[in-house]
Every structure is written in structure tokens, then in C-alpha cells.
Amino acid sequence: MGSIFRAFILVLLIAMPAGQARSAPEPGAFVEEFAGKAISLVSDKSLAAEERRQAFGDLVETYFDMPAIGRFLLGRYWRVASDAEQAAYLKAFTDNIVYTYARRFDDYRGQKLVVDSSREDGRFNVVSSRIVDPNSNQDYRLEWRVIDSNGAMKIVDIVIEGVSMSVTQRQEYASVIQSNGGKVQALIDALTRQMAGLKSSGG
Amino acid sequence: MRRVAIGTSLALFMLAGCASQGEQGDGAVYDPIEPANRLVFAMNDAVDTMVLQPTAYVYKEVIPAPIREVVRNFLDWLSSPLYIANSALQGDLEGLEHNASRFVANSPMFGLVDNATGLGLERRPEDFGQTLAVWGADDGPYLVLPLIGPSNLRDTTGLVADYFMDPINYIGGDEDARFRYQIARKVVGAVDFRAQNFAHINDLKATSVDYYARVRTIYKQRREALIRNNTPASASASGAESSGEFEEFQPTNAPIEQSGKRSSD
């Protein structure tokens, strides 16, 4: 999603000291658990870039409701898309998210994620946290939108300094589809092209 | 001077009021002149690539981080009168006290050292665009301004009002010198901002499928957060507002008949 955020996220992912994981299904703890695992993944220098990306992808699939996020990002175009387009889009979208986040892992500089509080917001829980950077006195505010659906907790959005990554991505995708006559295939092509570009430039 | 500033701003405020049409629902940005905006955006992007980015790179590599921090502190301190005035105009007593205290804490060193943040008084920028929002003005149409970047009618109005509200405009007699000073301040601010967010902005560009649309929605969301002073949306808006677009979010394992209906819009 948004890259500014992406960077921060990585950071966060990176940020929690491992071992905070608790089994209690409390949203704050759930976020801490994800961040802890992500940080230990990023800090693990023994993994090759490809292995690390793979492991990060698995982690994201576990903690985020990726198919639902993908549907949400497409908005009203989801139902316009054919089954084949839906499947191709979900794959391109998920690959894209994982790839673009994972490429910033090397930027990790020991930042920590501190969970402050959690509040209910309709069907969701919103977990407030901060990224604390040891090299700067400026914290970043970060909120996680978490949903508990039939006993399975999942993260559905991250909001960095007031900017929601899901909303940002959603508006961007809508713009691509609109400027291509409402064709979802145009978005799939754009995502695929963009990934190929990043890979060839060594990003 | 205050009277002049308020008169100007009121006129502009009414202008903003006339033109504001609200948004097209679902969080989309109202952008009636998108083709023109895209053109200016592309030109700004070219200036960024050719001028701003290289300058910011050199600045970042040549000037040590503590000096850049001093520059940032000083620029922020120069804007203190605007922060204070706009907090007052918004009727935000807590913000007024916050920004006045910051000014007092940082003035002994002419704003070069930001003591206030260490005292728990973080930066809290206010501008007349935010003031107009607090007074009830809508964003109005999205505008991309040459060299200045993303804005909207309300915030452009605010920029003009802030310019006239700035006490620096009423000090000394040399108008040219004042103008040069204002330009220099903006240019240094832009270079510093670009340097501070160097990798992030490059990444924002590299990973987007529609850079223009991405920046457009980020601008809107960021401004909304600043207007709310970073408090959660639910605190200021009505309860239903806070989930916003997420009202239609359907988790994967939700009952199927619902997910089909609810996501239509």
C-alpha cells in the first residue's frame, strides 16, 4: 500500500520485542504478536531475501484478511469483474503488497512498536500504537483496524499518521479502473507491470 | 494588521463557501478539473525529479543531521505566530495554550533548539485552511498548485490568508526583502521536507499504479487528521462516521448472502 506508510510499517513489523505473544484474543495483543513475529523475521539476517519474502507472505496471510481486503479495495468493481479476473486480481494484489513491503526490510533501524490502547469502533477494534525510533525523538502514530469474525481475529487496515492504507489503495485502484473505461483487467495489468518494473530495477 | 487579515480571509472564506460542493461519497476526492490538475502534477513531478530531489539529496548528504534539525526547528518557530493565531481563531483554547507555550519555551534560543518537544509539547502546526475547516467550510475542489503541490480551494484560500496574517509582513519597510525572505523560507522548507522524507517519497512514487491518485487521497486524509489534531475520527464526528468506508467491509468468513449485498454501492 502507500509507501511512506509501508516504510513505517516495516518498521513496526519490525518493532516489537519478540515473546510478547499471548493467547488471549485481545486486539492489542494480537497486533503485538504480529509485530513481534515480523520484527524477528526482519532481524533474521540468516535468511535470503527470497526466503524472507516468502515467510513474510505467510505471516501476512495469517494475520491479515487478504481476500476481504482485496475485495474491499476493488469496491463496486469487484462484482463487475469475472471470476477469472477476481482470481487474477487477488493474486496480483497480494503479491504486490507483500513484495512492496518486503523490499523495505533493509531500512529497519531498531524501531519499536508500542501499543497504547484499543477502542471499539462499530464492528471493529482500533488499536492505537506508536513507532518509536531510537534515532529520532519523533514518534509516528499508527492505528490498526482489527475485526473479529466468527472467532477469527484479522487485521484489515493500518492507519499511519491519519492516512489509511486501505483507503489510499482503494482510491488509487478506482482511479486506474475509471481511467481505463471501468475495466478491472487494466488494474491487473498495471499491478503486474509495476511489479515487473520493481523486480527488474532490483528493488 | 489583524483587521486587514481577517477582512481578506472572510472574503476568501465566502469564495470557498460558494465553490464547495462536497464530495462524491465513498471517500473519493472531489476533483472536477482533474485533467488540468494532472498536467500541473506532472510538471511539479518533473521539477521534483530534476531540481528538488537532487538538491534534497545533496542537502541530506552534505549537511549533518543535527544542523538539519536546527533548520527545521527554526522554520517551525518562524511559523509560531500563525499557529497561535489560528488556534485562537479556531476557538481551540488548549491548542492556543499549547502553541503559546511552545513559543515561549523555544524563543530564548530563537527557535533553533526545540526544547518544547522535550517538555511534552510536540509540534502542532495550524494554518488558516484548518481554521476554515473548523468553521465549517468544505474542502472544495482539489487543486494542484504549480510548485506548491496538492491543495484544494479551502486550503489555497488558507495559504493566501496565512500570508497576510504573518506578522513578518508588517515588520520593516523593504517590501522586496520581505518577499525574498518569504520565498527563501518556502524553498528551504521544501528542500528540508524532501530530504527528511527522501526514501519514502521515492518509494511512494515507485510502488504506485497511479501516483497522482495516490497523492490526492493521501493529501485529503492527512489534512483531515491535522484538522482533527490527530484525535480519532469518532471523537469529533458522529459515531457512524468513524468507520467511514469500512461500513461495507465484509470479512472472508462472513455469511455469504450478506457480503454480496452489502458491498454493492
Residue B168 is predicted with a pLDDT of 84
- The residue segments making up the domain with residue A50 are 7-200
Q: Rounded to whole angstroms, how far apart are CA atoms B68 and B60?
A: 8
Query: Could you tell me if A179 lies within 8 Å of chain B, comparing CB atoms?
Result: yes
Determine the pLDDT at residue B28: 87
- Whether A1 maps to a domain, the answer reads no
Question: Residue B233 has what pLDDT?
Answer: 65
Q: Answer whether residue B148 is part of any domain.
A: yes
pLDDT of B84 reads 96
Identify whether A2 is part of a domain. no
Q: What are the backbone angles phi and psi of residue A140, rounded to the nearest 5°? A: -110, 135
Cβ–Cβ contact A75 with B under 8 A? yes
- pLDDT computed for residue B22 by the predictor: 41
Say which CATH number the domain at A17 has.
3.10.450.710
Q: How many domains does chain A have?
A: 1
For A76, which of B217, B234, B265 is closest by C-beta distance? B265
The answer to whether residue A178 sits within a structural domain is: yes
In the stretch 25-44 of chain A, residues with CB closer than 8 A to chain B read none
> Would you state the pLDDT for residue B12?
53
Give the CA distances from residue B227 to residues B136, B163, B220, in Å, rounded to whole numbers and listed in that order.
11, 19, 11
Chain B neighbours among A 82-101 (CB < 8 Å)? 100
- Select the residue of A72, A107, A201 nearest B199 (Cβ to Cβ): A107
pLDDT along chain A (203 residues), means of 10: 58 50 69 92 84 91 93 92 94 91 82 91 92 82 90 91 93 95 94 90 66
Question: Which regions of chain B are under pLDDT 70?
Answer: 1-26, 233-243, 254-265
**ipTM score assigned to the predicted complex:** 0.82
Beta strands across the sheet bearing A152-160: A112-121, A124-132, A140-149, A152-160, A163-164
Distance of CA A160 to the CA centre of its chain: 11
Q: Which of A143, A118, A119 is nearest to A130 (CA)?
A: A143
pLDDT at A44: 83
Domains: count for chain B? 1
Question: What is the per-residue pLDDT for B178?
Answer: 86
Whether the CB of A195 is below 8 Å from some CB of chain B: the reply is no
Distance from CA of B162 to the nearest CA of A (A): 24
Q: How far is B114 from chain A (nearest CA, A)?
A: 11
- pLDDT number for residue B216: 97
Angle in degrees, CA B33, B39, B43, rounded to 5? 140
**HSE, side-chain direction, 13 A CA sphere, residue A72:** 22
In a domain, A52, yes or no: yes
The one-letter code for the residue type at A146 is V
Count interface pairs A-B at CB distance under 8 A: 146
Report the gap between the CA of A99 and the closest CA in chain B (Å).
Answer: 10
- Please check whether residue A33 lies inside any domain of the structure: yes
pLDDT at residue number A24:
45
Cα(first)–Cα(last) distance of chain A, in Å? 15
Q: Could you tell me the CA-to-CA distances from A195 to A3, A22, B206, B232 in Å, in that order? A: 14, 36, 10, 34
Grid coordinates representing A97 are 503488497
Give B40-93 pLDDT, tens digit per residue. 999 999 999 999 999 999 999 999 999 999 999 999 999 999 999 999 999 999
Cα gap A65→A153, rounded to integer Å: 9
Considering only alpha carbons, which residue of chain B is nearest residue A188?
B209
Q: Is B183 a domain residue?
A: yes
Q: Which residues contact A137 (CB under 8 A, 6 or more apart)?
A: B117, B118
Q: Residue B55, CB half-sphere, CA atoms under 13 Å: how many? A: 14
- Which residues of chain B neighbour A128 with C-beta distances below 8 Å? 232
